[in-house]
Amino acid sequence: MKTHTVGIIMNGVTGRMGKNQHLLRSICEIIKQGGVQVSPTERIMPDPILVGRNEVKLKELSAESGVEKWTTDLDSVMSDPAYPVYFDAQTTLRRADAVKAAATAGKHVYCEKPTAVDTKTAVELHNFCVEKGVKSGVVQDKLWLPGLVKFQRAVENGFLGRIFAVTGDFGYWVYEGDTIPAQRPSWNYRKEDGGGMMIDMLCHWRYVLDNLFGPVKTVMSRGAIHIPERVDELGKKYKATADDAAYSMFEIDGPDGEIVVNFNSSWVTRVRRDDLLTLHVDGTKGSALVTLRDCYIQHYSNTPKPIWNPDIDQPIDFYDDWSKVPDQEIYDNAFKVQWELYLRHIVLDEPFRWTLLEGAKGVQLAELGLQSWEERKWLDVEDLT
Same domain, 255 and 271: yes
Q: What is the CATH number of the domain that holds 229?
A: 3.30.360.10
Q: How far apart are CA 42 and CA 34, in angstroms?
A: 11
Same domain, 123 and 170: no
Q: Are 354 and 362 contacting, i.e. CB atoms less than 8 angstroms apart?
A: no
Same domain, 191 and 236: yes
Q: How far apart are CA 364 and CA 122, in angstroms?
A: 8
Same domain, 112 and 6: yes
**Number of neighbouring beta carbons within 10 Å of residue 47:** 15
End-to-end, the C-alpha distance of the chain in Å comes to 41
In a domain, residue 375? The reply is: no
Residue 190 has pLDDT above 90, yes or no: yes
| Residue 45 backbone phi and psi in degrees, to 5 | -120, 115
Residue 385 has pLDDT above 90, yes or no: no
Same domain, 234 and 291: yes
Residue 314 has pLDDT above 90, yes or no: yes
Confidence at residue 103, expressed as pLDDT on a 0 to 100 scale: 98
Domains of the chain: total: 2
Confidence at residue 178, expressed as pLDDT on a 0 to 100 scale: 94
Confidence at residue 16, expressed as pLDDT on a 0 to 100 scale: 87
Domain that includes residue 278, residue range:
146-328
Q: What is the CATH number of the domain that holds 120?
A: 3.40.50.720
Residue 1 has pLDDT above 90, yes or no: no
Same domain, 224 and 124: no
Same domain, 24 and 122: yes
Same domain, 103 and 211: no
Same domain, 264 and 358: no
Average confidence score pLDDT of the chain: 97
